[in-house]
Structure 1
Protein backbone atom coordinates (compact mmCIF):
# COMPACT_ATOMS: atom_id res chain seq x y z
CA UNK A 1 0.00 0.00 0.00
CA UNK A 2 3.04 2.27 -0.23
CA UNK A 3 1.95 3.18 -3.76
CA UNK A 4 -1.42 4.40 -2.54
CA UNK A 5 0.22 6.42 0.24
CA UNK A 6 2.66 7.96 -2.22
CA UNK A 7 -0.13 8.88 -4.64
CA UNK A 8 -2.20 10.40 -1.83
CA UNK A 9 0.83 12.46 -0.82
CA UNK A 10 1.49 13.68 -4.37
CA UNK A 11 -2.18 14.49 -4.92
CA UNK A 12 -2.38 16.33 -1.59
CA UNK A 13 0.52 18.52 -2.71
CA UNK A 14 -1.09 19.01 -6.14
CA UNK A 15 -4.46 20.04 -4.70
CA UNK A 16 -2.77 22.41 -2.26
CA UNK A 17 -0.83 24.04 -5.08
CA UNK A 18 -3.92 24.27 -7.28
CA UNK A 19 -5.87 25.97 -4.49
CA UNK A 20 -3.00 28.41 -3.98
CA UNK A 21 -2.65 29.09 -7.71
CA UNK A 22 -6.39 29.62 -8.12
CA UNK A 23 -6.36 32.20 -5.33
CA UNK A 24 -3.30 33.91 -6.82
CA UNK A 25 -4.96 34.04 -10.25
CA UNK A 26 -8.13 35.46 -8.72
CA UNK A 27 -6.05 38.16 -7.07
CA UNK A 28 -4.00 38.96 -10.18
CA UNK A 29 -7.09 39.17 -12.38
CA UNK A 30 -9.48 40.77 -9.92
CA UNK A 31 -10.85 43.07 -12.63
CA UNK A 32 -12.15 39.97 -14.45
CA UNK A 33 -15.15 39.30 -12.23
CA UNK A 34 -15.87 35.79 -13.45
CA UNK A 35 -12.26 34.77 -12.99
CA UNK A 36 -12.13 36.25 -9.50
CA UNK A 37 -15.36 34.69 -8.26
CA UNK A 38 -15.15 31.29 -9.92
CA UNK A 39 -11.46 30.86 -9.04
CA UNK A 40 -12.30 31.50 -5.37
CA UNK A 41 -15.04 28.86 -5.50
CA UNK A 42 -12.79 26.34 -7.24
CA UNK A 43 -10.01 27.02 -4.73
CA UNK A 44 -12.42 26.16 -1.92
CA UNK A 45 -13.01 22.79 -3.57
CA UNK A 46 -9.27 22.12 -3.68
CA UNK A 47 -8.94 23.14 -0.02
CA UNK A 48 -11.64 20.61 0.82
CA UNK A 49 -9.78 18.00 -1.23
CA UNK A 50 -6.62 18.75 0.77
CA UNK A 51 -8.50 18.13 4.01
CA UNK A 52 -10.06 14.92 2.76
CA UNK A 53 -6.69 13.67 1.52
CA UNK A 54 -5.08 14.48 4.88
CA UNK A 55 -7.65 12.23 6.55
CA UNK A 56 -6.96 9.46 4.02
CA UNK A 57 -3.22 9.95 4.52
CA UNK A 58 -3.61 9.41 8.25
CA UNK A 59 -5.21 6.03 7.54
CA UNK A 60 -2.15 5.12 5.46
CA UNK A 61 0.29 6.34 8.11
CA UNK A 62 1.34 9.63 6.52
CA UNK A 63 0.99 13.06 8.11
CA UNK A 64 -0.43 15.60 5.64
CA UNK A 65 -1.64 18.23 8.11
CA UNK A 66 0.82 21.01 7.22
CA UNK A 67 0.89 23.00 4.02
CA UNK A 68 2.16 21.05 1.06
CA UNK A 69 4.77 22.23 -1.31
CA UNK A 70 6.88 25.36 -1.28
CA UNK A 71 6.84 28.02 1.37
CA UNK A 72 4.99 31.26 0.60
CA UNK A 73 8.23 33.17 0.02
CA UNK A 74 9.39 30.64 -2.55
CA UNK A 75 6.08 30.81 -4.40
CA UNK A 76 6.10 34.61 -4.42
CA UNK A 77 9.69 34.73 -5.61
CA UNK A 78 8.91 32.35 -8.45
CA UNK A 79 5.89 34.42 -9.40
CA UNK A 80 7.94 37.62 -9.45
CA UNK A 81 10.55 36.00 -11.71
CA UNK A 82 7.91 34.59 -14.01
CA UNK A 83 6.03 37.86 -14.51
CA UNK A 84 9.01 40.19 -14.55
CA UNK A 85 9.66 41.92 -17.84
CA UNK A 86 12.04 44.60 -18.97
CA UNK A 87 11.90 47.75 -16.83
CA UNK A 88 8.97 49.91 -17.86
CA UNK A 89 7.30 47.07 -19.78
CA UNK A 90 4.36 45.23 -18.35
CA UNK A 91 3.20 42.03 -20.00
CA UNK A 92 -0.21 42.23 -21.64
CA UNK A 93 -2.86 41.41 -18.99
CA UNK A 94 -4.76 39.23 -21.48
CA UNK A 95 -1.69 37.12 -22.18
CA UNK A 96 -1.06 36.80 -18.45
CA UNK A 97 -4.63 35.64 -17.97
CA UNK A 98 -4.29 33.04 -20.71
CA UNK A 99 -1.01 31.83 -19.20
CA UNK A 100 -2.62 31.53 -15.77
CA UNK A 101 -5.62 29.67 -17.18
CA UNK A 102 -3.31 27.30 -19.07
CA UNK A 103 -1.26 26.59 -15.95
CA UNK A 104 -4.41 26.06 -13.88
CA UNK A 105 -5.76 23.67 -16.49
CA UNK A 106 -2.56 21.64 -16.56
CA UNK A 107 -2.45 21.48 -12.75
CA UNK A 108 -6.07 20.30 -12.61
CA UNK A 109 -5.36 17.72 -15.34
CA UNK A 110 -2.43 16.35 -13.36
CA UNK A 111 -4.61 16.11 -10.26
CA UNK A 112 -7.31 14.39 -12.28
CA UNK A 113 -4.86 11.71 -13.37
CA UNK A 114 -3.89 11.10 -9.75
CA UNK A 115 -7.55 10.88 -8.73
CA UNK A 116 -8.07 8.30 -11.47
CA UNK A 117 -5.06 6.31 -10.28
CA UNK A 118 -6.41 6.36 -6.72
CA UNK A 119 -9.84 5.24 -7.94
CA UNK A 120 -8.33 2.23 -9.67
CA UNK A 121 -6.17 1.40 -6.64
CA UNK A 122 -9.11 1.78 -4.25
CA UNK A 123 -11.15 -0.65 -6.34
CA UNK A 124 -8.29 -3.15 -6.49
CA UNK A 125 -7.67 -2.86 -2.74
CA UNK A 126 -11.40 -2.92 -1.97
CA UNK A 127 -10.94 0.30 0.03
CA UNK A 128 -14.45 1.73 0.10
CA UNK A 129 -13.45 4.76 2.20
CA UNK A 130 -10.80 5.83 -0.31
CA UNK A 131 -13.17 5.16 -3.20
CA UNK A 132 -15.77 7.38 -1.53
CA UNK A 133 -13.28 10.26 -1.25
CA UNK A 134 -12.27 9.85 -4.89
CA UNK A 135 -15.91 9.68 -5.99
CA UNK A 136 -16.66 12.93 -4.16
CA UNK A 137 -13.56 14.87 -5.19
CA UNK A 138 -12.63 13.79 -8.70
CA UNK A 139 -15.77 15.20 -10.36
CA UNK A 140 -14.90 18.61 -8.91
CA UNK A 141 -11.42 18.41 -10.38
CA UNK A 142 -12.95 17.57 -13.75
CA UNK A 143 -15.18 20.64 -13.34
CA UNK A 144 -12.08 22.78 -12.65
CA UNK A 145 -10.62 21.52 -15.92
CA UNK A 146 -13.81 22.25 -17.85
CA UNK A 147 -13.95 25.81 -16.49
CA UNK A 148 -10.34 26.61 -17.44
CA UNK A 149 -10.82 25.05 -20.87
CA UNK A 150 -14.00 27.05 -21.48
CA UNK A 151 -12.35 30.27 -20.37
CA UNK A 152 -9.40 29.64 -22.69
CA UNK A 153 -11.74 28.92 -25.60
CA UNK A 154 -13.75 32.05 -24.95
CA UNK A 155 -10.87 34.44 -24.30
CA UNK A 156 -8.21 33.24 -26.76
CA UNK A 157 -9.74 34.66 -29.95
CA UNK A 158 -10.24 38.11 -28.48
CA UNK A 159 -6.89 38.31 -26.70
CA UNK A 160 -4.71 36.73 -29.38
CA UNK A 161 -6.14 38.63 -32.33
CA UNK A 162 -5.94 41.99 -30.53
CA UNK A 163 -2.13 41.84 -30.34
Structure 2
Protein backbone atom coordinates (compact mmCIF):
# COMPACT_ATOMS: atom_id res chain seq x y z
CA UNK A 1 0.00 0.00 0.00
CA UNK A 2 3.00 2.33 0.31
CA UNK A 3 3.01 2.64 -3.48
CA UNK A 4 -0.62 3.75 -3.52
CA UNK A 5 0.16 6.34 -0.85
CA UNK A 6 3.08 7.57 -2.96
CA UNK A 7 0.76 7.98 -5.96
CA UNK A 8 -1.85 9.72 -3.82
CA UNK A 9 0.78 12.13 -2.51
CA UNK A 10 1.92 12.90 -6.06
CA UNK A 11 -1.67 13.45 -7.19
CA UNK A 12 -2.34 15.70 -4.23
CA UNK A 13 0.71 17.84 -5.00
CA UNK A 14 -0.20 17.98 -8.70
CA UNK A 15 -3.77 19.08 -7.95
CA UNK A 16 -2.59 21.72 -5.45
CA UNK A 17 -0.12 23.06 -8.03
CA UNK A 18 -2.81 23.08 -10.71
CA UNK A 19 -5.25 24.92 -8.44
CA UNK A 20 -2.57 27.53 -7.77
CA UNK A 21 -1.89 27.86 -11.51
CA UNK A 22 -5.58 28.29 -12.35
CA UNK A 23 -5.90 30.99 -9.64
CA UNK A 24 -2.82 32.77 -10.96
CA UNK A 25 -4.19 32.81 -14.50
CA UNK A 26 -7.60 33.96 -13.26
CA UNK A 27 -5.94 36.90 -11.53
CA UNK A 28 -3.73 37.76 -14.47
CA UNK A 29 -6.61 37.49 -16.97
CA UNK A 30 -9.13 39.42 -14.87
CA UNK A 31 -10.30 41.49 -17.86
CA UNK A 32 -11.03 38.38 -19.95
CA UNK A 33 -14.28 36.93 -18.61
CA UNK A 34 -13.97 33.87 -20.86
CA UNK A 35 -10.79 32.94 -19.01
CA UNK A 36 -11.09 34.60 -15.59
CA UNK A 37 -14.29 32.97 -14.36
CA UNK A 38 -13.65 29.46 -15.71
CA UNK A 39 -10.15 29.50 -14.19
CA UNK A 40 -11.57 30.46 -10.80
CA UNK A 41 -14.09 27.62 -11.02
CA UNK A 42 -11.45 25.13 -12.14
CA UNK A 43 -9.15 26.20 -9.29
CA UNK A 44 -11.93 25.40 -6.84
CA UNK A 45 -12.46 22.06 -8.56
CA UNK A 46 -8.75 21.24 -8.14
CA UNK A 47 -8.88 22.23 -4.47
CA UNK A 48 -11.84 19.91 -3.97
CA UNK A 49 -9.90 17.15 -5.71
CA UNK A 50 -6.95 17.71 -3.38
CA UNK A 51 -9.31 17.42 -0.39
CA UNK A 52 -10.73 14.18 -1.78
CA UNK A 53 -7.21 12.82 -2.25
CA UNK A 54 -6.32 13.76 1.35
CA UNK A 55 -9.41 11.85 2.48
CA UNK A 56 -8.37 8.82 0.39
CA UNK A 57 -4.87 8.93 1.87
CA UNK A 58 -6.34 8.71 5.38
CA UNK A 59 -7.70 5.27 4.40
CA UNK A 60 -4.05 4.25 4.19
CA UNK A 61 -3.14 5.97 7.47
CA UNK A 62 -1.36 8.79 5.67
CA UNK A 63 -1.96 12.46 6.46
CA UNK A 64 -1.23 14.72 3.48
CA UNK A 65 -0.64 18.42 4.22
CA UNK A 66 -3.08 21.06 3.06
CA UNK A 67 -0.90 23.12 0.71
CA UNK A 68 -3.40 25.95 0.29
CA UNK A 69 -1.83 28.07 3.03
CA UNK A 70 1.24 29.04 1.01
CA UNK A 71 -0.84 30.34 -1.90
CA UNK A 72 -1.23 33.89 -0.59
CA UNK A 73 2.51 34.50 -0.61
CA UNK A 74 2.91 33.02 -4.10
CA UNK A 75 0.04 35.17 -5.42
CA UNK A 76 1.55 38.31 -3.89
CA UNK A 77 4.95 37.58 -5.43
CA UNK A 78 3.39 36.96 -8.85
CA UNK A 79 1.35 40.17 -8.64
CA UNK A 80 4.49 42.15 -7.78
CA UNK A 81 6.34 40.58 -10.70
CA UNK A 82 3.53 41.55 -13.09
CA UNK A 83 3.49 45.15 -11.85
CA UNK A 84 7.26 45.46 -12.23
CA UNK A 85 7.07 44.12 -15.78
CA UNK A 86 4.34 46.62 -16.63
CA UNK A 87 6.30 49.52 -15.15
CA UNK A 88 9.47 48.66 -17.05
CA UNK A 89 7.61 48.15 -20.31
CA UNK A 90 8.65 44.52 -20.62
CA UNK A 91 5.17 43.17 -20.93
CA UNK A 92 4.14 41.24 -24.05
CA UNK A 93 0.67 41.71 -25.50
CA UNK A 94 -2.24 40.46 -23.41
CA UNK A 95 -3.11 37.90 -26.08
CA UNK A 96 0.38 36.41 -26.04
CA UNK A 97 0.26 36.30 -22.25
CA UNK A 98 -3.04 34.44 -22.44
CA UNK A 99 -1.59 31.86 -24.84
CA UNK A 100 1.42 31.42 -22.56
CA UNK A 101 -0.88 31.02 -19.55
CA UNK A 102 -2.99 28.40 -21.34
CA UNK A 103 0.12 26.48 -22.38
CA UNK A 104 1.40 26.54 -18.80
CA UNK A 105 -1.98 25.35 -17.49
CA UNK A 106 -1.96 22.46 -19.93
CA UNK A 107 1.52 21.44 -18.84
CA UNK A 108 0.58 21.78 -15.15
CA UNK A 109 -2.40 19.46 -15.69
CA UNK A 110 -0.30 16.63 -17.12
CA UNK A 111 1.17 15.35 -13.82
CA UNK A 112 -2.33 15.09 -12.34
CA UNK A 113 -3.52 13.15 -15.39
CA UNK A 114 -0.58 10.74 -15.18
CA UNK A 115 -1.02 10.21 -11.43
CA UNK A 116 -4.70 9.45 -11.99
CA UNK A 117 -3.79 6.84 -14.60
CA UNK A 118 -1.34 5.25 -12.17
CA UNK A 119 -3.90 5.33 -9.36
CA UNK A 120 -6.54 3.74 -11.57
CA UNK A 121 -4.15 0.94 -12.50
CA UNK A 122 -3.22 0.40 -8.85
CA UNK A 123 -6.88 0.32 -7.78
CA UNK A 124 -7.60 -2.28 -10.45
CA UNK A 125 -4.57 -4.34 -9.45
CA UNK A 126 -5.56 -4.50 -5.77
CA UNK A 127 -9.27 -4.75 -6.62
CA UNK A 128 -10.20 -1.70 -4.54
CA UNK A 129 -13.66 -0.84 -5.90
CA UNK A 130 -14.10 2.25 -3.68
CA UNK A 131 -10.77 3.70 -4.82
CA UNK A 132 -11.59 2.88 -8.43
CA UNK A 133 -14.94 4.69 -8.19
CA UNK A 134 -13.28 7.74 -6.67
CA UNK A 135 -10.57 7.78 -9.34
CA UNK A 136 -13.19 7.60 -12.10
CA UNK A 137 -14.74 10.86 -10.86
CA UNK A 138 -11.38 12.57 -10.52
CA UNK A 139 -10.33 11.37 -13.97
CA UNK A 140 -13.45 12.90 -15.52
CA UNK A 141 -12.64 16.25 -13.89
CA UNK A 142 -9.07 16.38 -15.21
CA UNK A 143 -10.28 15.41 -18.69
CA UNK A 144 -12.79 18.27 -18.56
CA UNK A 145 -10.09 20.70 -17.45
CA UNK A 146 -7.75 19.63 -20.25
CA UNK A 147 -10.53 19.91 -22.81
CA UNK A 148 -11.42 23.43 -21.59
CA UNK A 149 -7.78 24.49 -21.97
CA UNK A 150 -7.52 23.03 -25.50
CA UNK A 151 -10.81 24.66 -26.51
CA UNK A 152 -9.72 28.03 -25.13
CA UNK A 153 -6.44 27.80 -27.08
CA UNK A 154 -8.38 27.04 -30.28
CA UNK A 155 -10.62 30.07 -29.64
CA UNK A 156 -7.86 32.53 -28.80
CA UNK A 157 -4.89 31.49 -30.94
CA UNK A 158 -6.20 32.58 -34.36
CA UNK A 159 -7.06 36.09 -33.11
CA UNK A 160 -3.79 36.56 -31.25
CA UNK A 161 -1.47 35.08 -33.83
CA UNK A 162 -3.08 36.85 -36.80
CA UNK A 163 -3.14 40.30 -35.15
CA UNK A 164 -0.52 42.94 -35.94
CA UNK A 165 0.17 43.75 -32.25
- TM (norm. structure 2) is 0.87
How many residue pairs get matched? 163
Matched with 2:62 is: 62
Matched with 1:129 is: 130
Helix, strand or coil: the match of 1:91?
coil
Structure 1: gaps of 5 or more residues: none
Alignment root-mean-square deviation, CA:
2.2
Matched with 1:149 is: 150
Matched with 2:90 is: 89
Matched with 1:35 is: 35
Structure 2: gaps of 5 or more residues: none
Matched with 1:111 is: 112
Work out the CA distance in 1 between the residues paired with 2:128 and 2:47: 23
Matched with 1:99 is: 100
C-alpha spacing 1:122/1:79, structure 2 compared with 1 (3 Å): farther
8 Å CA contact 2:24, 2:75 repeated in 1: no
- TM (norm. structure 1) is 0.88
Work out the CA distance in 2 between the residues paired with 1:2 and 1:147: 34
Offset from partner CA, 1:5-62 (integer Å, 9 cap, x none): 1110011011011111111111111111111111122112111111110011111222
Which structure has the highest helix share of the two?
Answer: 2
Q: Which moved more, 1:100-109 or 1:62-71?
A: 62-71
Matched with 1:17 is: 17
